[in-house]
Structure 1
């Protein structure tokens, strides 16, 4: 959930910088379609430092995620972390689970001022995770890195992709997170871009069921839970609370006075911004439509003033059932998934099964509806 005082027209909650698209893994879901070699036109160390200086203009404590590919393909990561930390940025990183993530490099990043490290686990066993990641030994390397991070006093977040191949693993991954002492579980609902186009997403009704289960997990487990590219999680949580509250609206639908219009969720371009390895500024890494390049204009200016970002921040611009939805200001739908399916970032999110009362327009999930199976918890 977003901080209540953050004005997302002025600054993003999360600014992601893709340092490189180079990576030694060949993950099935890879947004970047990563390659072994680095791109010759990547932002240099000096350009990266200038980007961080511009990012600091968003305000104190701006969250910056160093991403990839595998960011540790670059040797300047500790230098960049230290520079960002000196500027007052909250520096975090999402490295790949490979041999590059050594205990020494983790300690070096922690000493430079890194605030959190995120690793990916898409299965609770070596067989399941390594098959998804395309590399034998990735699971063991990831678990070893988590232990090394704990030794360095560095909090660890776990990222998990949800698709047909991984959804049955979620309960076991939940148990593993408690065992390894993760502080946050970020659950990413597949957007079909990059290599992820060949994966099968779960159906809309099943997505809602998984999100209801995740809401239960957030109430019972010692780690936090957040979703990525699934803003409907906010609607699901609100409906669940309303159903549990005797005074709630019938069916969990929003009513007057419940404050929904004043609480907006974070979606691509509205709370998120992504800087590519060559400096292009996208609303998210899963919505590859550029607002400009940081080599030409500051990231602050592109985020605040570009037509693309401004249009995404106006929820009344949404079309289809997302535009008619009473939850559009707390959810807004995945703009990345809408773009991936239609080429229009303002179209309806095909993962959401909620149909607004009285809406009789086209529905976006015709190819996937009908699968209402929930996640099996094994309890």
Structure 2
């Protein structure tokens, strides 16, 4: 199905694209203030103050990135990520949203394989089958359908994404899209994958770490840290932008937030760093590894500080609720497709009621009872420091599962709902008690515009008003 955007919008885009290309060609040589003001005019203001600051940080950091990135990578960032995904894609997604009556994601996360050479404890992917990859045809079709809806940004996870036999064929065939991969770094260190990525330009690898050598080798195996350093050195030498991703546990939370760690990986060449909260799912889930409410609050405050002080883009998917207006899951801003083709609301919310082998992306977004149940409940709390339906407002996840009749993705996925229910409920209460005064005193008024916007969108695009897909199709 082909979607169109209004003629007036297409005309504006025709004038905007050369302006964006011209701006980014001279990006390293113009003042930050000029960059910020120009992008505000092109993209508009963000509804969330932290979101606006984050976007400005991205564009200012790109000035540094463009000084060392090779020409293929710079071209892909400008044409694929900024224009296709950011400028033109946003216009198309909004047009489809207005016509159909439900949100269109800004990105998809796809885990085409769960095979991995490592066996890290607590890995959310570890309980899945290792012998059933997503077919190339289904993978290719999913990306094609997403692009037709204005989605050009894809995060490839796993398992180890570079083990998927035809992953580079996907990258090359969809040369107008931008891919970010979460990887152990093993294959990047040992094979010619870095050379391929440098040639394609449209892939940004993020390599998983646990801290420094001792912490990383303890979880991922002796000698793994040296492979990470080798992979990063190869990427830097090839002019490929890249980053790190760290899983915050009760043991390493403070270390991941230290100046020493952020500076270390920045000096290795990392342009971005992602923080994940340890979640008690996957292989041998251990609730005692979940950071305490106090540690998580520290992470929120510390990342705000690090963003201001460091020349690296930092994001935390549990602490950055104010940045994006709460939870992104259920198709509001993203969804996850696993190696079996199951469409899950989130990488960590492992349940599904529809599959990409049987349904199109549009049908999943429109018809999934699980996704609709989640979207009806967003935001789960007007306190955007509590964005997660699994550990912050767990009754929302339980209600959505019960209401939709969705099936759990793997055998032990119900541990969160059953065996760990008491632990999670206690964590939720303690974290709410800790964050409510902070939110009410420091952030509630500042973010009222954003929360009002979320509620207005939910009311405007409630399930009762969703339209037939032909309304936006030509």
What band does the TM-score fall into relative to the shorter chain?
A: 0.7 to 0.9
Residue 246 of structure 1 corresponds to none
Q: Secondary structure at the match of 1:94?
A: strand
CA-CA distance at 1:97 after TM superposition: 2.7
Structure 1 residues 156-188: Cα deviation after superposition (integer angstroms, max 9, x where no partner): 121111111211322132121221121111111
Q: Secondary structure at the match of 1:117?
A: strand
CA-CA distance at 1:345 after TM superposition: 6.3
Q: Secondary structure at the match of 1:42?
A: coil
Residue 244 of structure 1 corresponds to none
Q: Measured at CA, do residues 231 and 220 of structure 1 come closer, stay the same or move farther in structure 2, by a change above 3 Å?
A: closer
> Equivalents in 2 of 1:64, 1:336: separation in Å?
23
Tell whether the 8 Å contact from 1:31 to 1:196 is kept in structure 2 after alignment: no
CA-CA distance at 1:99 after TM superposition: 4.5
Structure 1 residues 142-168: Cα deviation after superposition (integer angstroms, max 9, x where no partner): 111111112222111211111112113
169-178 or 62-71: bigger deviation = 169-178
> Equivalents in 1 of 2:241, 2:315: separation in Å?
16
Q: Secondary structure at the match of 1:354?
A: helix
172-181 or 185-194: bigger deviation = 172-181
Tell whether the 8 Å contact from 2:385 to 2:435 is kept in structure 1 after alignment: no
In the alignment, does 2:205 pair up with 1:117? yes
Structure 1 residues 71-104: Cα deviation after superposition (integer angstroms, max 9, x where no partner): 122221110111222xx32122122232464351
In the alignment, does 2:225 pair up with 1:139? yes
Q: TM-score, normalised by structure 2?
A: 0.60
Residue 142 of structure 2 corresponds to 51
In the alignment, does 2:281 pair up with 1:193? yes
CA-CA distance at 1:356 after TM superposition: 6.7
In the alignment, does 2:167 pair up with 1:77? yes
**Mapping 1:162-177, distance limit 5 Å:** 162-170=248-256, 171=258, 172-177=260-265
In the alignment, does 2:435 pair up with 1:354? yes
Unaligned 5+ segments in structure 1 are 236-262, 360-379
Residue 391 of structure 2 corresponds to 337
Residue 376 of structure 1 corresponds to none
Aligned length: 315
CA-CA distance at 1:332 after TM superposition: 5.7
Q: Measured at CA, do residues 331 and 304 of structure 1 come closer, stay the same or move farther in structure 2, by a change above 3 Å?
A: farther
Greater share of helix: 2
> Equivalents in 1 of 2:281, 2:130: separation in Å?
20
In the alignment, does 2:32 pair up with 1:32? no
> Equivalents in 2 of 1:152, 1:46: separation in Å?
31
Q: Measured at CA, do residues 264 and 284 of structure 1 come closer, stay the same or move farther in structure 2, by a change above 3 Å?
A: same
Q: Which of 317, 324, 329 is the equivalent residue of 1:268?
A: 329
Residue 296 of structure 2 corresponds to 207
CA-CA distance at 1:296 after TM superposition: 0.5
Residue 270 of structure 2 corresponds to 182
Q: Secondary structure at the match of 2:315?
A: strand
Structure 1 residues 99-131: Cα deviation after superposition (integer angstroms, max 9, x where no partner): 46435112113323433111111112x211110
Residue 129 of structure 1 corresponds to 216
Residue 373 of structure 1 corresponds to none
Residue 247 of structure 2 corresponds to 161
Residue 371 of structure 1 corresponds to none
> Equivalents in 1 of 2:378, 2:394: separation in Å?
21
Tell whether the 8 Å contact from 1:26 to 1:34 is kept in structure 2 after alignment: no
Tell whether the 8 Å contact from 2:189 to 2:230 is kept in structure 1 after alignment: no
Q: Secondary structure at the match of 1:174?
A: helix
> Equivalents in 1 of 2:147, 2:347: separation in Å?
21
In the alignment, does 2:355 pair up with 1:301? no
Tell whether the 8 Å contact from 2:201 to 2:240 is kept in structure 1 after alignment: no
14-23 or 347-356: bigger deviation = 347-356
Tell whether the 8 Å contact from 2:341 to 2:356 is kept in structure 1 after alignment: yes
Alignment RMSD (CA, Å): 3.0
> Equivalents in 2 of 1:341, 1:202: separation in Å?
20
